[in-house]
Structure 1
């Protein structure tokens, strides 16, 4: 097993000319991206690093390549480093890798966080590495599903030009579509994705809870909300929010809105608060009609 980071330098590029990728933090995103690049023959997968031998072995097995490693002190040299740890651990993990000597002037270090910019990798910049942030705008909760339909995924990108010149083509060759974002706007960009994805789930959960309060079984409620959410989303994407909006607020029927709020308050006060919090923004959309 390799010891120091520089011990495997001669083996970084294989006979096919592929660069070596080290993956640090091989959860759903890390292992999925590794598998995509491995299956496409775009990168040679080097070390796959997680906190335990068992999880590292599981991740490498999913990817179908790579050497399982459970400590960065055992990390072999690579050309590219994907840091796919939780957001809170990104700066400290990068600093630990830099202190270990994993990075150099010829290294490209990147992460796929939607909330953090490439500045989370400043410790790598200090030692001369090039850094970037490339955020796939999609859920990785079901890795097998992502493997089947990653093509067409939009990715927000920012970082050093040299790093992006290396990393961007690797995503594009998987069928990704790239959009440049300003680092200072990254948090707002990520909040937009939370609205579009996470809070859509929250609204679906709220609808199920309200149906439950009305005595409708969950399996039936799911069937009720499916066409409503699917058709509304289709209209939103095809025609924009103003044309897609319907319902009492769009009609100016505030008496019905008040009755809804009162009924929700009796059933679940938290649902009432959520409902009322959405009325003002919905009214603004209706005003643009």
Structure 2
């Protein structure tokens, strides 16, 4: 079984390295700018690297690791010159396997296999994938194929229906991107406005994160503290006003999040 990766960015490189080191035949590394693929090929001897001129050579399994907006176009570039591959897979969290509709109608295996990892983590060793949880969605053939590989390689995954793909990704955005944004705002206030030293900032953020992780594990995320939870209107108004003076959008965000806490609590 030969695996080809199209789109040699951080995610594509990580997957190519993972399969190569697990003993799979990674036959082709393809990128819009061939230099990126050629660079990775130096680390993975035996892989053929280049640009879209190689699309006609692909067989067996094709993993498309481009940006979401380019997945459909990349697939069509392949399909229009080469219908031999038996499986078409992409890594997007938001887009479903419906982008491979022509392949599905031809009874190919189609799927999306999204690694729940912060994008900055993609520079870390491919072994990180064995700590990640993938979101798996696709047709019966595609799901069966990826599930068998996941079982063999010890990869964890959750099944997602095609209709639920957008909601799944929205939850991931809340878990990762929005959480990071909140931490970044707190860090900026500690450093730039309160002038705390680096060690104090790190320890403060770590302390709050550890507390949140305990709530995740004990199922108590609906138990809030703070001025919104205790309905301390005076503190809410003072803090919102102070933040609005720094940045009106920050003050508005504080107001909206306070309202959401009350909503979640059922107040």
State whether TM-score is above 0.5.
yes
Q: Tell me the equivalent position of 1:61.
A: 42
What are the within-5 Å matches in structure 2 for residues 130-169 of structure 1?
Answer: 130-169=109-148
Q: Tell me the equivalent position of 2:33.
A: 52
Instruction: Choose 49-58 or 225-234, whichever is displaced more.
Output: 225-234
Q: Tell me the equivalent position of 1:23.
A: 5
Instruction: Choose 79-88 or 179-188, whichever is displaced more.
Output: 179-188
Say if 1:140 and 1:146, in contact at 8 Å, map to a contact too. Answer: no
Partner deviation per Cα, 1:72-120 (whole Å, 9 max, x = no partner): 445423210001111101111111100012x23x611111110100001
Instruction: Choose 90-99 or 219-228, whichever is displaced more.
Output: 219-228
Aligned mates of 2:125, 2:172 — CA distance in 1: 17
> Which residue of 5, 16, 20 maps to 1:34?
16
Aligned mates of 1:63, 1:138 — CA distance in 2: 23
Q: Tell me the equivalent position of 1:3.
A: none
Q: Give the deviation of 1:232 after TM superposition.
A: 2.1
Taking structure 1 as reference, are residues 65 and 218 closer, same or farther at Cα in structure 2, changes over 3 Å only? Answer: farther
Aligned mates of 1:84, 1:27 — CA distance in 2: 7
Aligned mates of 2:66, 2:181 — CA distance in 1: 25
Q: Does 1:236 align with 2:200?
A: no
Q: Give the deviation of 1:154 after TM superposition.
A: 1.6
Instruction: Choose 44-53 or 69-78, whichever is displaced more.
Output: 69-78
Aligned to 2:118, the other structure's residue is in SS state: coil
Say if 2:136 and 2:157, in contact at 8 Å, map to a contact too. Answer: yes
Say if 1:117 and 1:183, in contact at 8 Å, map to a contact too. Answer: yes
Q: Tell me the equivalent position of 1:268.
A: 247
Say if 2:56 and 2:81, in contact at 8 Å, map to a contact too. Answer: no
RMSD (Å), alpha carbons = 2.2
Point out where structure 1 has 5 or more consecutive residues left out of the alignment: 1-18
Aligned mates of 1:249, 1:47 — CA distance in 2: 55
Instruction: Choose 208-217 or 270-279, whichever is displaced more.
Output: 208-217
Aligned mates of 1:228, 1:63 — CA distance in 2: 42
Q: How many residue pairs get matched?
A: 266
Q: Give the deviation of 1:142 after TM superposition.
A: 3.0
Point out where structure 2 has 5 or more consecutive residues left out of the alignment: none
Q: Give the deviation of 1:68 after TM superposition.
A: 0.8
Q: Give the deviation of 1:193 after TM superposition.
A: 0.1
What are the within-5 Å matches in structure 2 for residues 1-289 of structure 1?
Answer: 19-41=1-23, 43-63=24-44, 65-73=46-54, 75-101=56-82, 103-104=83-84, 107-212=86-191, 214-217=193-196, 219=198, 220-243=200-223, 245-287=224-266
Say if 1:79 and 1:108, in contact at 8 Å, map to a contact too. Answer: yes
